[in-house]
Chain A
């Protein structure tokens, strides 16, 4: 079980969180023209990365905040966590 540092609550066990996918995907702006390919990339196409990966988790049984977590998908090492409004650098 992973140990995730919620930027709001501190170190918590994985079973308090739910996984939310790739954190680097940006939702296209509402009402803007977009090609099929770009839309598909947003909805479906994800890189299945081995290594460092920024992903979203929601602290479901805690503060209910969505957070950004940088995790190594191969080793599960967690390098950094950010609040929803903090930019990935």
Chain B
């Protein structure tokens, strides 16, 4: 098909550049500067989709962000994206789009049967119908509803495009480049303010592109162009098109999505597809204009029924006729402007005006052009299924309640204008208390909560002269306040045609004997009858009516439906509209892609990856890594065909028999200095710290104020007023904040400084009966004998010219040391350890072996210190000082913490000594007891004991103290396992702790 609805000339498109595209598999042509919508209409295509609920045919209703219907699935450069408005998507070579919500095709849609079933699909249908039987929900109802609902399909492929985030600060953010946006930006920029001017569309100028006005002897468009090009030259101004400010958040933070590449066939190299701007503005000027509202009549959703302003925009911007026999149905003068535009292009429109005898300059002009005008006339119903073929029209009585005899007028489109609704979404999001303006039957912004002001049509000001005056002034005043600079601008001479008052008529009554669907919300298929049912069923609050009927929901956010819905509710309820109130507008104003919200925080950029200085050694030696918080730690070192289980067993066994080395760089380290350091430790830890000698380490447990264990670790006294604290990897940041809290707020009198040194030190744990032999080779000049460096001892030593700190502490339960060197020397240290240990059979071990070793020793870690246990639960009550107070101590005397049968840590061994016990399983007395089977405890950690060569677990068990020797069952419904077990001591290996002291 050729572009038979394209005018010979006119519009702002580039006719020199023809663009081919595909819609539903068929090839069409358009021009550069077209939207998908304008190009389709130029080709005479009006059927674009099917409606959400009834699958009724859908065409185009608007020409931009206001479009409720024309949502397509877009295909671009091998990717697909749903929820794209055809009216916003710019045409590019090779664009492909498909209809959504129809099967098998938009022309023949099986779901359209819903349309004939519509009496069975009233408001709340889903709530009422799919209630029973309960078992039907997952298998039958939900899959059915999911397939029937939704507009388009999200891609499940990885999105290869790049999205960026940008943070920006400015004096004035101006949202919209229509007359008010341009005027305010211009005067603010002239005063030297830092201005960001955002325009949603590709072209700047807003309504200036389509209205017949004159500003300072220029057309509206010429004036807009000249202002924009001047603004673009100014260093203090950022001008952005294709940029939608969609959310207004606290403290004047606004978020804008900039579509950088969506209008191109392919994103340019090094360019993002979209950029999300977080803008903190001192002042916000909302110049988002207004959206024309429809008049409600029968079958008003038929393709070919559209807003009169959209018809005008297609004519003036794209040189496209939405129809060749247009009917204009209006209650105000705006419809006349559209009719005049048709007439100028050789098309004869008919105007139906609900008003009896309106008079104005614009109406005069239409009359002079011999346009057929029928006063006190309304469209009763559109006729035609996939496209408007004619309209049933009638005269309407002065009280707007009685219809005259029905006449049928042939037409191919109906352009509707029910006056204008200010776009107050952003103002409302900012917390502005909106108010109802009787003159325009709409809400306008009222008292501001944040620093925002609304200009022009968005504020209910509909004449150009007043809009420009107000906007120049506001831009000037607000910027002057910030910059203390004023450059007065001479106000241009404005010529515009005067219009007269509109008619408050918004809904055509049904003729006798007819039951046409009259739609309010076009995106969500909400008709007048649905609201009537909701109110009959007792819904009163407008917020409830919204949720029950879906009026004003989803991506549309009530752009065209909001006020007519309120009119209806207020009419039935016999209230005034302001008494009904409007529903809350929520961000985003229009859909934003998930990619833009996520930005670059995907894959490896989603969080930092921390690696120890020895990481490359681990890599070279076949380490398999595991995420430990943001750290990457070796889980095990694979040898040959070994799996995790085999490798970790080998590594752990080697620690028990020979010697192993483990990278413990990730442990949190905090340097503590000051004369009151010991006092701080004494208050933070549960045990005594005042008498720790220099050169000694001590194990400590710290609690939260509620008595729950927060963290454990060793702290070493390096010198008189200097301590080195270690924390678990996971709690490192929390412990630092915890110490800072008490030092800054609770005990500021303590003279102590704390700082994290986690990254300054590389750490290696050398563990096993032969570890001392390794140490002797590493530090030949130091006395590392049991006397020279006893258990919990500390010394500084020389590691082949590198300064090292040796702590004789043990997590594995074996004779063990932790050696720390400055991070830069970590790799050197590691290589030296491996080299020195070779003759003793040293092997590196990963976190899996580390866990095995600590579990069978009964040493607690994160899985026991899980934010639910107190010291007693972990058999750490011996560390509670009776002599002093400490953080959380008072809580431990609370009743629940002191009960006799309080939970306690125990060991668990399967009776068959073979079956592995899944972590997280429950312990029960009777495996056959009826559900819910009383739970006595849970498995916190499991391993394969290398000491005894059988499975072993730790558990937190009710009355654990008295359960040793008892037989219970481990149940794992998840793994469908029931395992008979025996309860043993949690100290499964070396209960007396002789090895660490050997």
Contacts and interface: CB of A to CB of B under 8 A. Distances in A.
Interface of A: 1-3, 13, 18, 20, 27-28, 30-31, 34, 36, 39, 42-44, 56, 58, 60, 64-66, 75-76, 78, 84-85
Interface centre among A34, A56, A64 (most CB of B within 10 A): A64
A89 B280 CA distance: 30
A30 to B, nearest CB: 4
A34 B249 contact: no
A44 B683 contact: no
B745 A3 contact: no
A27 B891 CA distance: 13
Contacts of A2: 250-251
Nearest to A26: B746
B745 A66 contact: yes
Contacts of A85: 744, 748
Contacts of A39: 890-891
Given A1-B250, A2-B251, A84 B683 contact: no
B740 interface: yes
Interface string B770-799: 000000000000000000000000000000
Nearest to A4: B251
Interface of B: 167, 249-253, 278, 280, 431, 449, 683, 705-706, 737, 740-741, 744-746, 748, 884-886, 890-891, 894
A66 B431 contact: no
State the majority secondary structure of interface residues on A.
loop
Most B CB contacts (10 A, CB to CB) among A1, A18, A30, A60 go to: A30
Given A2-B250, A20-B741, A64-B740, A84 B884 contact: no
A86 to B, nearest CB: 11
Contacts of B884: 31
Query: 7 closest Cβ contacts across the A-B interface?
Result: A3-B251, A84-B744, A31-B885, A30-B885, A76-B250, A66-B744, A27-B746
A3 B253 contact: yes
A44 B744 CA distance: 22
25 contacts: A1-B251, A1-B253, A1-B278, A3-B250, A3-B252, A3-B253, A3-B280, A18-B737, A20-B741, A27-B705, A27-B746, A28-B890, A30-B885, A30-B886, A31-B884, A34-B890, A43-B705, A44-B706, A58-B737, A60-B737, A65-B744, A66-B745, A75-B449, A78-B251, A85-B744
B452 to A, nearest CB: 14
Nearest to A29: B885
B251 to A, nearest CB: 4
Contacts of B251: 1-3, 76, 78
A67 to B, nearest CB: 9
A66 B741 contact: yes
Select the residue from A34, A76, A78 with max chain B CB neighbours within 10 A.
Answer: A76
Nearest to B682: A30
B891 A43 contact: yes
Contact of A58 (B683, B706, B740): B740
A36 B896 CA distance: 13
B740 A56 contact: no
A58 B741 contact: yes
A1 B741 contact: no
A78 B431 CA distance: 15
A2 B885 CA distance: 38
Given A30-B885, A34-B890, A84 B250 contact: no
A85 B431 CA distance: 34
A84 B741 CA distance: 9
Contacts of A18: 737
A28 B705 CA distance: 11
A33 B280 CA distance: 50
B431 A84 contact: no
A21 to B, nearest CB: 10
Contacts of B253: 1, 3
A78 B252 CA distance: 13
Given A60-B737, A76-B251, 19 more contacts: A1-B249, A1-B250, A2-B250, A2-B251, A3-B253, A3-B280, A13-B167, A20-B741, A27-B705, A30-B683, A30-B885, A58-B737, A58-B740, A64-B740, A66-B744, A76-B250, A78-B251, A84-B745, A85-B748
A30 B750 CA distance: 14
Contacts of B741: 20, 58, 66
Nearest to B748: A85
Contacts of B280: 3, 13
B765 to A, nearest CB: 30
Contacts of B250: 1-3, 76
A24 B29 CA distance: 69
A20 B278 CA distance: 25
B740 A66 contact: yes
A75 B448 CA distance: 12
Contacts of B891: 39, 43
